[in-house]
Amino acid sequence: MKVLVTVKEVAEVEDDFEIADLDVDPRYLEYDLNEWDEYAVEAAVRLAEASDEDVEVVSATIGPERSEETVRMALAKGVDRAVRIWDDDVEAAEFLDVASKVRLLEAVVAEEDPDIVLTGVQANDTGFGATGVALADAVGFEWGAVVNHLDTEGVLEDGVAHVHRELEGGIDEITEIDLPAVLTIQTGINEPRYASLRGIRQAQSKEIARKTLSDLGLDHSAVAGELFLTDMYEPEAESDATYFDGDAGEQAAQLATALREKGVGAE
């Protein structure tokens, strides 16, 4: 049996930054595993561990060579092997919209034929939050978005996932989803493990298969999206807050005065 988990390397922006052309100046970007995917990787590995059968966990990444460092972290945490999609056409794509990503991942699903696919709810750079569900519909899988509880026992054997979907306002929806399915995984669903030294060592010898569009039976039209980023800017600060200056002690003293005026701490 097989679990496919999507892994994205995302750019995180430092507190102070500049925008150059249509993106944040790379000098202010740091790359890391997408936070949601960290939980999806953990859920994928746990699904495999919970099964009596032989389960392979495969990760799929759309990303340049740089992202292999991030992929290795997933391999170190228990993913068995990885697929990384990239070539000149993907690199040249102006904006990888949801439909483009789905075309690439759809080809990976066709090749790997997994029983279940886990993705993060969203990526914290572009934040579309849609790839998992769109992928499910494209490959004819069932799905569940924003899963914050997954009973890993028996999912693969029974072909049903018992999940909670995290609705707004502290309400979970309890849902049964027939496999094959795509689940989009919410942060906090589990406690992602740290990679062990042994895991990190083993990860070095695990396979990261690089796939070009033509390897997947696609061409450049697969990444020709209909969405175009035309502007990026810092939102105007709308703050009309009263700021307290000085060193920490002075700031605290001024804030304490303001809080007392509001009746805080008066007993």
Partner 1 sequence: MTSDVLAVAEHRRGDVRDVSYELVTAGRELAEETGGDLHVAVISGQVEEFATRVNREGVDVVHTVDHGEEFNHDVYVQAVCALADELDPQYVLTPNSVNGLDYAPAVANRLALPLVTDAVGIEYDGGLTVTREMYGSKVETTVEVDAERTVVTVRPGEWMVTEADGDAEVTPFEFEVDESAVNSTVTGFEEVAGGDVDIADAEVLVSVGRGIEEEENIELVERLADALGATLSSSRPIVDNGWLPKNRQVGQSGKVVTPEVYIAIGISGAVQHVAGMKGSETIVAINNDSNAPIFDIADYGVVGDLFDVVPALTEEFE
Nearer to partner 1, 162 or 210 (CB): 162
* β-bridge partners, 124: none
Instruction: Scan residues 184-203 and list those touching partner 1 (CB under 8 A).
Output: 187-188, 191
The CB-of-210 to partner 1 minimum distance in angstroms stands at 27
Torsion 91-92-96-102 (CA) sign: negative
**Is residue 91 a contact residue for partner 1 (CB under 8 A)?**
no
Backbone torsions φ then ψ of 231, nearest 5 degrees: -160, 150
Q: What is the C-alpha to C-alpha distance for residues 76 and 245, in angstroms, rounded to an integer?
A: 46
The pair of structure tokens assigned to 63 is: 């990303």
Nearer to partner 1, 82 or 130 (CB): 130
The CB-of-206 to partner 1 minimum distance in angstroms stands at 28
Given a contact cutoff of 8 angstroms between Cβ atoms, the answer to whether 51 and 1 are in contact is: yes
CA 159 to chain centre: 24
How far is residue 201 from each of residues 75, 84, 99, 237, measured CA to CA in Å?
Answer: 10, 20, 36, 47
Site string for partner 1, 233-252 (x = CB under 8 A): xxx-xxx-xxxx--xxx-xx
Given a contact cutoff of 8 angstroms between Cβ atoms, the answer to whether 204 and 81 are in contact is: no
Nearer to partner 1, 72 or 103 (CB): 103
Instruction: Scan residues 13-72 and list those touching partner 1 (CB under 8 A).
Output: 13, 15-17, 19, 24
**Is residue 150 a contact residue for partner 1 (CB under 8 A)?**
no
**Is residue 209 a contact residue for partner 1 (CB under 8 A)?**
no
Residue from 30, 178, 207, 219 touching partner 1 (CB under 8 A): that is 178
**Is residue 110 a contact residue for partner 1 (CB under 8 A)?**
no
Torsion 149-152-153-156 (CA) sign: positive
Nearer to partner 1, 160 or 200 (CB): 160
**Is residue 12 a contact residue for partner 1 (CB under 8 A)?**
yes
The CB-of-87 to partner 1 minimum distance in angstroms stands at 23
Nearer to partner 1, 15 or 52 (CB): 15
Nearer to partner 1, 205 or 239 (CB): 239
Residue from 52, 197, 205, 265 touching partner 1 (CB under 8 A): that is 265
Residues in the chain, overall count: 267
Torsion 62-64-68-69 (CA) sign: negative
